[in-house]
Amino acid sequence: MTVWDDTRARLAGQPGGGLNIAVEAVDRHVAEGRGQDVALRFVGRHGERSVATFAGLSADSGALADLLGQLGTRPGDAVFTLLGRVPELYVTALGTWKARAVLSPLFSAFGPEPVAQRLALGRGRVLVTTEQLYRRKVAPVRDRLPDLEHVLLVGGSTGGVPGGTAFDGALAQGDRAFVVPRTDPQDPALLHFTSGTTGTPKGAVHVHEAVVAHAATAAGVLGLRRGDVYWCTADPGWVTGTSYGIIAPLVLGATSVVDAGDFEARRWYELLAAERVEVWYTAPTALRMLMRAGDELAGEHDLSALRHVASVGEPLNGEVVLWGARVLGHPVHDTWWQTETGAIMIGNPPGEAPVPGSMGRPVPGIEAAVLARGDDGRARVTDGAVEVLTDPDQVGELALRPPWPSMFRGYWGAPERYAAAFAGGWYLTGDLARVDSDGRFWFVGRADDVIKSAGHLVGPFEVESVLMEHPAVVEAGVIGKPDPVAGELVKAFVTLRSGVEPDEALRADILAFGRRRLGSVAPREVDFDQNLPHTRSGKVMRRLLRARELGLPEGDLSTLEGVS
């Protein structure tokens, strides 16, 4: 029996071998007499508190599933959300799974361009948002969304929104006793967009069976147990916020703290103390910002309830691990995974002192390796075969052996991109890593041009495409500029149309244009460059731009990872 079978056997399941995430997350607890337990503790922007019980979530999500059916949603259709961390987001997620539809949560800080791209790619017919977010992010691009029929507005008011309905009123029409139909474990449940080096965002598809990996890893790697007070700081617009912010804690019967507010050092310490958070899953950028805020601030708060602290999403410096031990009372336990892997693949388990700087070891049930690289910096594939590096500390492309329950089952509508992610029986992650003689994995860098800013993946192509729509810009190259807190900042180099004068006013205008169209993924810096370097095939050489930015000699590109 594999570790996955073992976890699967402890889930409720449905008659006839069915498995549905929402049944495991809420209905099951109600059936077993825990309906009145608190599932979610909401903290509003101004500190207002409210709670949702498992029974409340079960009934509300049933009503939403029934409503989706009334709106003509069929199993496999994508239901999009564009919401902050509000109760309706959680009800929509669970209701979508009950309806056997596919949840695609969008990050509410995205601008209209990333929103339009993803909604169009996913052919979204139903969107749950607020009137304010709709006006700012969807209305300007609605003409590019012919498939969008129904817009459910949280907080009401539908004036002038085509297809608009108030969320609450609509929910009241749904059957709260909705019975979840048998769901095949291989039915799609989640669509998370992620970015590559080129082309449109890729929609990674996960199935209901993924819940097995969420439950197993949250228990095994985060040490989460029934009744724990738990806080995952990630937004559900990103995969961590769904896998470990919605699904895993509900399935395990923990109580999650959900904060609608943004990061603020004092606010976060107050929340940890006031809610008596026991297990905390956060991100390196946030931890580095807390470090900056000073140890005295931490000392003013009672953090004695904390039992385990873990992080994900970007390299975790050893310094932060040690700071955690000293100031939070617990070393920060690094974990590694990706949108595509759906759940933690490598990590430092509780009860074992983490080696600062290491991502830890593959979780039970996962086989990981590093593969020899070819000229393009990615795993070298010869006649369909790859070479596993077996000597310690050799740098190669990090690869995982499929399958596992939360492995992505496709890129939405892009089978060729999915096929390209596998070689020689391995899934290729696009990360560079090494394995030490103790079998611990160490992150080295990305094998491609994708940017990691404050834990969020940014595709340079998506940003370049928008900048090139600015009337003064003919070409753009976008890179990640190293930053001590955010890891990387998005920086753009732009070539101006001939005759256009480069000055500060234009720079400010291009930055503002980027912010308006792209939102949170917009560049923070713009440099003018009338001689962008190009490859023989005419593509902007982002690696050379990055070398210049880092002050590396331009001729010595071989010192940059991933460069042939």
Shortest separation between residue 297's beta carbon and ligand WT7, angstroms: 25
Task: Determine the Cα–Cα distance for residues 468 and 475; give it in Å rounded to an integer.
Answer: 6
- Contact stretch for ligand WT7 (CB under 6 A) within 139-147, 328-336, 365-373, 434-442: 328-336
Shortest separation between residue 204's beta carbon and ligand WT7, angstroms: 8
Q: For residues 111-150, which are near ligand WT7 according to CB under 6 A? A: none
Tell whether residue 256 is a contact of ligand WT7 (CB under 6 A).
no
Which residues, including other chains, have CB under 8 Å from residue 509's CB and lie 6 or more apart? Answer: 470, 472
Tell whether residue 203 is a contact of ligand WT7 (CB under 6 A).
no
| Amino acid at position 91, single letter | V
Which of 337, 411, 412, 427 binds ligand WT7 (CB under 6 A)? It is 337
Task: Answer yes or no: are the C-beta atoms of 298 and 320 closer than 8 Å.
Answer: no
Tell whether residue 453 is a contact of ligand WT7 (CB under 6 A).
no
Peptide bond into 502 cis (omega under 30): no
Could you tell me the two tokens for 399?
């690869």
Tell whether residue 251 is a contact of ligand WT7 (CB under 6 A).
no
Tell whether residue 321 is a contact of ligand WT7 (CB under 6 A).
no
DSSP code of residue 144: G
- Contact stretch for ligand WT7 (CB under 6 A) within 67-75, 295-303, 333-341, 523-531: 333-341
| Number of neighbouring beta carbons within 10 Å of residue 173 | 11
Q: Which is nearer to ligand WT7, 171 or 239 (CB)?
A: 239
CA distances from 257 to 3, 133, 280 (A): 29, 24, 10
Task: Determine the Cα–Cα distance for residues 351 and 160; give it in Å rounded to an integer.
Answer: 56
Tell whether residue 312 is a contact of ligand WT7 (CB under 6 A).
yes
Which of 80, 336, 426, 442 binds ligand WT7 (CB under 6 A)? It is 336
Tell whether residue 194 is a contact of ligand WT7 (CB under 6 A).
yes
Contact pattern from residue 205 through residue 224 relative to ligand WT7, giving x for each residue in contact according to CB under 6 A and a dash for the rest: --------------------
Could you tell me the two tokens for 192?
């998370």
Question: Which residue's structure tokens are 């917009």?
Answer: 522
| Number of neighbouring beta carbons within 10 Å of residue 505 | 9
Burial 266-283 (b: 16+ CB within 10 A, else e): eebbebbbebebbbbbbb
Give the helix/strand (H/E) hosting 69: helix 54-70
Which of 127, 128, 232, 359 binds ligand WT7 (CB under 6 A)? It is 359
Shortest separation between residue 11's beta carbon and ligand WT7, angstroms: 22
Shortest separation between residue 480's beta carbon and ligand WT7, angstroms: 11
Phi/psi region, residue 501 (left: phi>0; alpha: psi -120 to 50; beta: rest), is: beta
What's phi and psi for 232, nearest 5 deg? -105, 120
Which residues, including other chains, have CB under 8 Å from residue 259's CB and lie 6 or more apart? Answer: 43, 85, 231, 233, 267, 271
Tell whether residue 431 is a contact of ligand WT7 (CB under 6 A).
yes
Which of 117, 130, 317, 338 binds ligand WT7 (CB under 6 A)? It is 338
Shortest separation between residue 337's beta carbon and ligand WT7, angstroms: 4
Torsion of CA 550, 554, 555, 559, to 10 degrees: 20
Q: Which is nearer to ligand WT7, 194 or 255 (CB)?
A: 194
Tell whether residue 239 is a contact of ligand WT7 (CB under 6 A).
yes
Which of 208, 446, 470, 542 binds ligand WT7 (CB under 6 A)? It is 446
- Contact stretch for ligand WT7 (CB under 6 A) within 5-13, 164-172, 335-343, 533-541: 335-343
Please work out the total of residues on this chain that contact ligand WT7, with binding judged by CB under 6 A. 22
Q: H helices within 71-204, ranges in order?
A: 87-98, 112-121, 131-133, 167-171
Question: Nearest residue by C-beta to ligand WT7?
Answer: 339
- Contact stretch for ligand WT7 (CB under 6 A) within 218-226, 332-340, 415-423, 501-509: 332-340
Tell whether residue 358 is a contact of ligand WT7 (CB under 6 A).
no
Tell whether residue 282 is a contact of ligand WT7 (CB under 6 A).
no
Q: Which is nearer to ligand WT7, 54 or 193 (CB)?
A: 193
Which residues, in sequence order, are bridge partners of residue 525?
A: 491
| Number of neighbouring beta carbons within 10 Å of residue 390 | 9
Instruction: Tell me, rounded to whole angstroms, the distance of Cα 288 from its chain centroid.
Output: 19
Shortest separation between residue 459's beta carbon and ligand WT7, angstroms: 11
Tell whether residue 80 is a contact of ligand WT7 (CB under 6 A).
no
Instruction: Tell me, rounded to whole angstroms, the distance of Cα 539 from its chain centroid.
Output: 28
CA distances from 230 to 268, 341, 350 (A): 13, 22, 15
Task: Determine the Cα–Cα distance for residues 542 and 196; give it in Å rounded to an integer.
Answer: 14
Tell whether residue 457 is a contact of ligand WT7 (CB under 6 A).
yes
Tell whether residue 464 is a contact of ligand WT7 (CB under 6 A).
no
Q: Which is nearer to ligand WT7, 137 or 452 (CB)?
A: 452
Give me the residues that bind ligand WT7 (CB under 6 A), please: 194, 239-240, 312-316, 334-339, 359, 429-431, 443, 446, 452, 457
